[in-house]
């Protein structure tokens, strides 16, 4: 188990390296002069060629690309992600302020998705082919097909504007009231997805031999569901949830923008519009790292849930 | 009995999904005939933010343009983006997957490595980065979305090619003296069309959602082009005074994506016997 954990951890490093390289190349061949942009458009007219050259030197943009990547990598190792073009603050500082709101939002949404999606899928599988199953699955495919920001707009209108139950946007110093709408908006698509995955997993497991054996042994349905079905379905559900977490982290971009949530996502969008490359780079890297980290944890959890996997890595 | 019932439900997926998709395609093709007004030129500030009612059945937006007409024309943009970007993704994925599965060796390792990296970068983030690079616009949306979601078709094509490589009909074709390229495209590819079609259909649905999200953030198709996501983006400011502007483009996206998802599910039930027992 320990060797397995170490090996998984080591796999993490080349992946993040490759991703950092792709993102770096992608963003640093950006047309337009980043340093110039960061001064704001109104005073670019007064800049001379020498000024621009000086600014490029200031930001190290006169060096060749490979050199800049080497510098960037060195910073990455020491945990220094550079300085924002626009705000002249270290990117680290900006990210630090924003990461917690985003994580809070993403985790709450995932929690909602799991707490609603898994029981719904389970219930649907047990009622296979009946009306309750059909209705749940129609609901699930609808949830998957709905554009999140539209749902968010509707929730905002009905819950906040019409009935004034919850604040329409903002962070509100982290109060629970403020997180409800964004978290639901973000989570509802994943409720549908997890319900479908859970149903598929449970339906398949129910048809397997060991379930028949358990029934033949005279175990109660409750015990079968608890011990045999749920435990085996959990692996598939966990994998799906883990893989979807990256997507969910990315979707925070839209939800945060919609609800004016002060997280990484809104920072990323703002930095893209402002062409603040160090910040864009930092945001993307943190979002992807979080996703990879979550999947690493999921992989390690397999060993805990499934003794077969544990055994194969001893 | 139970089995038959399930079969009917499955067929319903296909029928309803196919019906909705056909409907949306018809609307897109005949947009100039169906739309009562021009989506961009017929703006009349005298009737700005009219609530739904004749002659503006879905109301008007802040610039006094007919929302129904804009929603109808929006179908063209959404479908075009979905189809073009997914076609690009499919071509890239199939070419990579086929060659990786068929040739193996270092090429296979390279393609699989690339696929895994692509899978770990959420498509929205990737598309955002590319849009940041290229700037907003229709062509750039094609590029940002057409090159970022090929990993699924690549993986499935590779695994199918890998297993088909050693099947008798492929061996027979090889014995007949077929070249590698001919073998790949005439023998293996036709036999894996099913899964590719399923992924493609679901991919179009996904692309329409992603385009709407990009347009909503202001990084997609630019106004005054009537795109559903873009309409919602501007509608946000009028949520308090004219909520109908927010409702109808969203319904259009929802119905289109729902139709494609159902169609994809239905196709899977028919074409992919392995997952007959599953629902997702």
Report how far residue B237's alpha carbon sits from residue B133's, in angstroms, rounded to the nearest whole number.
Answer: 27
In A, which residues are within 8 Å of B249 by CB distance?
Answer: 150
Q: Are A282 and A94 in contact (CB under 8 A)?
A: yes
pLDDT at B244 over 50: yes
Choose among B122, B133, B247: nearest Cβ to A250: B122
Report how far residue A248's alpha carbon sits from residue A252's, in angstroms, rounded to the nearest whole number.
Answer: 6
Type and span of the H or E element at A131: helix A131-145
Secondary structure in 3-state letters for A283-296: HHHHHHHHHHHHHH
Report how far residue A206's alpha carbon sits from residue B258's, in angstroms, rounded to the nearest whole number.
Answer: 29
List the beta bridge partners of residue B66: B60
Angle, vertex CA B52, rays to CA B51 and CA B55, nearest 5: 115
Report how far residue A195's alpha carbon sits from residue A115's, in angstroms, rounded to the nearest whole number.
Answer: 10
Distance from CA of B277 to the nearest CA of A (A): 7
Burial class (CB in 10 A: 0-12, 13-18, 19+), A26: middle
DSSP helix/strand/coil, B54: coil
Q: Are the beta carbons of B258 and A142 separated by less than 8 Å?
A: yes
The interface residues of chain B toward chain A in range 196-255, judged by CB-CB distance below 8 A, are 205, 209, 212-213, 216-219, 229, 232, 235-236, 239-240, 243, 246-247, 249-250, 253-254
Question: How confident is the model over B72-90, as pLDDT tens digits?
Answer: 888 888 899 999 999 999 9
Q: Are B253 and B209 in contact (CB under 8 A)?
A: yes
Q: Are A160 and A170 in contact (CB under 8 A)?
A: no
Report how far residue A47's alpha carbon sits from residue A54's, in angstroms, rounded to the nearest whole number.
Answer: 11
Q: Which residues of A113-146 are buried (b: 16+ CB within 10 A; e: fewer)?
A: bbebbbebbbbbbbebbeeebbebbeebbbbbbb
Q: Are the beta carbons of A273 and B218 separated by less than 8 Å?
A: yes
Q: Are A134 and B9 in contact (CB under 8 A)?
A: yes
Type and span of the H or E element at A233: helix A231-258
Question: How many percent of chain B have pLDDT more than 70?
Answer: 90
List the beta bridge partners of residue B272: none
- Which of A29-38, A119-128, A282-291 has the weakest average pLDDT? A29-38
Q: Are B102 and B188 in contact (CB under 8 A)?
A: yes
Question: How confident is the model over A49-92, as pLDDT tens digits?
Answer: 676 677 666 666 667 777 778 877 877 777 777 777 777 778 88
- Which of A38-47, A176-185, A276-285, B153-162 has the weakest average pLDDT? A38-47
Question: How many percent of chain A have pLDDT more than 90?
Answer: 6
Q: Are A265 and A256 in contact (CB under 8 A)?
A: yes
Q: Are A264 and A286 in contact (CB under 8 A)?
A: yes
Question: How confident is the model over B42-63, as pLDDT tens digits?
Answer: 677 776 777 777 776 777 777 7
pLDDT at A44 over 70: no
Main-chain dihedrals φ then ψ at residue B50, nearest 5 degrees: -75, 135
Q: Are A269 and A284 in contact (CB under 8 A)?
A: no
Using the structure block, give the residue that is written with the tokens 């997805």: A193
Residue A313: its pLDDT value, please?
57
Interface confidence (ipTM) of the complex: 0.79
Report how far residue A292's alpha carbon sits from residue A255's, in angstroms, rounded to the nearest whole number.
Answer: 21
| Closest to B60 in 3D by CA, of B250, B244, B221, B225 | B244
Please provide the DSSP assignment of B10-22 as one string.
HHHHHHHHHHHHH
Provide the Cα torsion A244, A245, A251, A252; round to 10°.
160
Report how far residue B184's alpha carbon sits from residue B160's, in angstroms, rounded to the nearest whole number.
Answer: 11
Distance from CA of A306 to the nearest CA of B (A): 22
Q: Are the beta carbons of B128 and A273 separated by less than 8 Å?
A: no
CATH code of the region B75-226: 1.10.3720.10
In B, which residues are within 8 Å of A203 by CB distance?
Answer: 277-279
B277 pLDDT tier (thresholds 50, 70, 90): very low
| DSSP classification of residue A158 | I
Q: Are the beta carbons of A15 and B116 separated by less than 8 Å?
A: yes
The interface residues of chain B toward chain A in range 250-279, judged by CB-CB distance below 8 A, are 250, 253-254, 257-258, 261-262, 265, 277-279
Domain boundaries, chain B: 75-226
For residues A191-212, average pLDDT = 85
Q: Are A301 and A234 in contact (CB under 8 A)?
A: no
pLDDT at A119 over 70: yes
For residues B148-169, average pLDDT = 84
| DSSP classification of residue B38 | -
């Amino acid at each position: 188990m320990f060797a397995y954990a170490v090996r998984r951890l080591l796999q993490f490093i080349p992946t993040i390296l490759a991703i950092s390289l792709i993102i770096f190349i992608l963003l640093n061949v950006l047309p337009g002069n980043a340093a110039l942009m960061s001064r704001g458009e109104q005073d670019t007219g007064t800049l001379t060629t020498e000024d621009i050259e000086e600014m490029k030197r200031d930001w190290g943009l006169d060096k060749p690309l490979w050199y800049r990547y080497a510098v960037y990598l060195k910073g990455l190792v020491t945990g220094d992600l550079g300085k924002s073009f626009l705000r002249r603050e270290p990117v680290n500082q900006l990210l630090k302020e924003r990461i917690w709101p985003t994580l809070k939002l993403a985790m709450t949404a995932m929690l909602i998705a799991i707490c609603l999606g898994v029981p719904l899928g389970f219930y649907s599988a047990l009622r296979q082919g009946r009306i309750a199953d059909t209705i749940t699955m129609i609901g699930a495919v609808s949830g998957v097909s709905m554009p999140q920001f539209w749902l968010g707009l509707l929730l905002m209108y009905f819950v906040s504007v019409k009935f004034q139950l919850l604040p329409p946007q903002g962070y509100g110093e982290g109060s629970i009231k403020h997180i409800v709408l964004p978290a639901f908006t973000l989570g509802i698509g994943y409720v549908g997805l997890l319900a479908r995955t859970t149903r598929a997993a449970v339906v398949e497991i129910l048809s397997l031999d060991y379930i028949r054996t358990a029934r033949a042994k005279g175990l109660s349905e409750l015990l079968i569901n608890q011990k045999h079905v749920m435990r085996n379905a959990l692996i598939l559900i966990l994998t799906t949830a883990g893989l979807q977490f990256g997507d969910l982290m990315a979707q925070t971009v839209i939800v945060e923008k919609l609800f004016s949530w002060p997280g990484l996502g809104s920072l990323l969008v703002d930095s893209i519009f402002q062409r603040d490359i160090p910040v864009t780079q930092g945001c993307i890297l943190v979002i992807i790292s979080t996703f990879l980290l979550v999947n690493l944890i999921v992989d390690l959890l397999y060993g805990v849930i499934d003794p077969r996997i544990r055994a194969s890595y001893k | 009995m139970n089995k038959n019932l399930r079969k009917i439900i499955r067929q319903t997926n296909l029928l309803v999904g196919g019906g909705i998709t056909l409907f949306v395609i018809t609307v897109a093709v005949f947009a100039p005939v169906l739309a009562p007004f021009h989506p961009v030129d017929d703006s009349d500030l005298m009737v700005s933010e009219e609530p739904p009612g004749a002659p503006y059945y879905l109301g008007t937006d802040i610039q006094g343009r007919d929302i129904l007409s804009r929603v109808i024309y929006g179908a063209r943009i959404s479908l075009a983006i979905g189809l073009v970007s997914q076609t690009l993704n499919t071509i890239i994925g199939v070419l990579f997957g086929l060659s990786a599965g068929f040739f193996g060796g270092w090429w296979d390792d390279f393609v699989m490595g690339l696929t895994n990296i692509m899978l770990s970068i959420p498509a929205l983030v990737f598309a955002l980065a590319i849009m940041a690079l290229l700037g907003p616009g229709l062509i750039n949306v094609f590029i940002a979305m057409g090159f970022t979601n090929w990993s699924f078709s690549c993986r499935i094509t590779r695994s199918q090619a890998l297993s088909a490589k050693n099947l008798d009909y492929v061996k027979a074709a090889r014995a007949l003296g077929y070249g590698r390229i001919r073998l790949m495209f005439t023998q293996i590819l036709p036999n894996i069309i099913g899964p590719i079609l399923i992924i493609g259909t679901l991919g179009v649905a996904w692309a329409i959602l992603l385009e709407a999200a990009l347009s909503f953030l202001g990084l997609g198709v630019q106004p005054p082009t009537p795109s559903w996501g873009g309409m919602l983006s501007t509608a946000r400011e009028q949520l308090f005074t004219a909520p109908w502007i927010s409702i109808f483009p969203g319904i259009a996206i929802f119905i289109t994506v729902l139709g494609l998802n159902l169609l994809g599910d239905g196709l899977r039930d028919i074409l992919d016997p392995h997952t007959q027992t599953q629902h997702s």
